[in-house]
Amino acid sequence: MAYSSGGRLPFESASKLGHLNVIESEWVRALIKDFETNDVGDANNYENDIWESFDPMNAQPLQHIWVVDGSYVPVEENHKELAFVKTALMTVEQSKIADIDKEYPHPLKLQEIMKDSALFHATVFPLRNLKSAKGNIYDTVRHVIYDLMRNDEGGQYFETLKWLAYKKWDGKNNSPSFECPHCEEKVDEGIPYDQDTGKCPFCGKEVLLTDMVGFHLDMNEDNAPISVASSYMLIMEMLMLFTVIRLQWSNRDPNLISNTLFIKDGPMTLKGQYSKLVPNIREFLNFAKKQGRPIHLVASEKSGLFFDYLSLSSRFVKPESGKIKYAVLNHGYIRRVIQRAPDRGNPYGMRTNWGEKVFVFLDENTHMVLNMTTGGYEKENSYPSTSDIIGLERILATLPTLISRKYEGALYPVELVNGIASMSNYPSAKILQDFVKDMI
Ligand SMILES: [Zn+2]
């Protein structure tokens, strides 16, 4: 914000600025003039012809809800550093959520829907100045990830990793390519179908299927950055959610999966080496769509570029009584209006995103940045359009019952699962600190 002159300054601010060479540019002078005359609150400053209307009475809300969230905390003690990661998966029935007062929930009702409804996964990683008898930080983290995924919940999460890596719905495929954790060579052929481990063709050493994901690329022998913990959290959240999807896919009731809403917090994005799972996720969602068993996935973003843009521009959206307004953002719009980036280089989200951005506007006080899936990707600026989004109408019809009254732009199931997955609030952080003290 510019400082306002109270008139008590020795010079007028304009005359002060006049000494600067930059003011001599005609372009800058024109800009300053425009800057002064343009009303920032003008709806014309936002390209708002993107909005469409939907009557939620025209689709059946989804009955079952699964939601995942996670958290991580670095803990430092005596120059030693480690990180705790916790993820939680929870299920609730849409009818019960609809019944709850989101602002002042009745404790007994809340207790009833939370009871026996959650699964947890937790781990600890050494990050700095820690060495186990078995090896350095690099190998410890690799093996902790492998052992944990294979053992937790009877190996169900590991089976999901295999299911995605080997595209088990579609014959017998090798895993995606990976970088050997020992000799750093790129192994294009991946790990052979359904194997838990493989052998590097270059150095002959054992490679774990979890190495294929690429956590080791973020570490050196003796140090791991906190990003290993955050990446593990993101991968685990995705695997937990897809474990339910995988199990429901083969459920006796073939309609169960398409009557379920799967929710995650944060964008449907996997960056860097972790993006190698993105094409497989898209392929499965497309496969399910083609089989007539669409999978309804939604993610909410409560901060960031898209959230900021919607917060500013939503004032100018005209509400329609009884209707939900929504906007499926195509890549051209995202580039030009939101990222304000040049139209070159990698098309938006091509490598990293398994979902697309959808703005939703329920009323003057309630708007959300959501991610939904298409099961594919096209480079065109006009992609995606409304018809590309999987299960858009049923997701929209379910949303009005899921609005958080505590957090702007949030979904209530995410608020619930966040409460049990979060370690950042007292007393968890204190307990972990004490735990570390005892351990070291
Ligand atoms: Zn190797």
* Sequence spans of domains, the chain: 57-131+222-434
What is the Å distance from ligand 1's center to 221 Cα? 16
Residue partners of 175: CB distance under 8 A and separation at least 6: 165, 166, 190, 191, 198, 209, 212
What is the Å distance from ligand 1's center to 237 Cα? 29
Q: From first to last of its 440 residues, what are the pLDDT tens digits of the chain?
A: 344 444 444 444 444 444 556 556 777 777 667 666 655 555 566 677 899 999 999 999 999 999 999 999 988 888 888 899 999 999 999 988 888 888 888 888 888 877 778 898 988 888 988 877 788 999 999 999 999 999 999 999 999 999 999 999 999 999 999 999 999 999 999 999 999 999 999 999 999 999 999 999 999 998 999 999 999 999 999 999 999 999 999 999 999 999 999 999 999 999 999 999 999 999 999 999 999 999 999 999 999 999 999 999 998 998 999 999 999 999 999 999 999 888 777 789 999 999 999 999 998 889 999 999 999 999 999 999 999 999 999 999 999 999 988 888 889 999 999 888 887 654 556 666 776 676 65
The residue type of 257 is: I
- Distances, alpha carbon 172 to alpha carbons 168, 192, 395, 425, in Å: 6, 9, 33, 45
How far apart CA 356 and CA 351 sit, in angstroms, is 12
- Number of CB atoms found within 10 A of residue 47's CB: 11
What is the Å distance from ligand 1's center to 281 Cα? 27
Contact indicator for 74, 82 with CB cutoff of 8 Å: yes
What is the Å distance from ligand 1's center to 204 Cα? 6
Contact indicator for 328, 395 with CB cutoff of 8 Å: no
The confidence score (pLDDT) of residue 37 equals: 60
Contact indicator for 179, 187 with CB cutoff of 8 Å: yes
How far apart CA 230 and CA 236 sit, in angstroms, is 10
How far apart CA 284 and CA 280 sit, in angstroms, is 6
What is the Å distance from ligand 1's center to 187 Cα? 8
- Answer positive or negative: Cα dihedral of 272, 389, 54, 401: negative
The confidence score (pLDDT) of residue 35 equals: 63
- Distances, alpha carbon 104 to alpha carbons 41, 132, 398, in Å: 34, 48, 21
How far apart CA 218 and CA 231 sit, in angstroms, is 10
Give the three-state DSSP class for 321.
Answer: coil
How far apart CA 375 and CA 356 sit, in angstroms, is 10
What is the Å distance from ligand 1's center to 389 Cα? 41
H or E element at residue 144: helix 137-151
Residue partners of 306: CB distance under 8 A and separation at least 6: 329, 338, 357, 359, 369
What is the Å distance from ligand 1's center to 267 Cα? 33
What is the Å distance from ligand 1's center to 208 Cα? 12
The confidence score (pLDDT) of residue 100 equals: 87
What is the Å distance from ligand 1's center to 21 Cα? 59
Enter the pTM of the model: 0.88
> What end-to-end distance do the CA atoms of the chain give, in Å?
49
> Torsion angle of alpha carbons 387, 390, 392, 398, nearest 10°?
170
Give the three-state DSSP class for 70.
Answer: strand
Token reading at 274: 């972790």
What is the Å distance from ligand 1's center to 140 Cα? 18
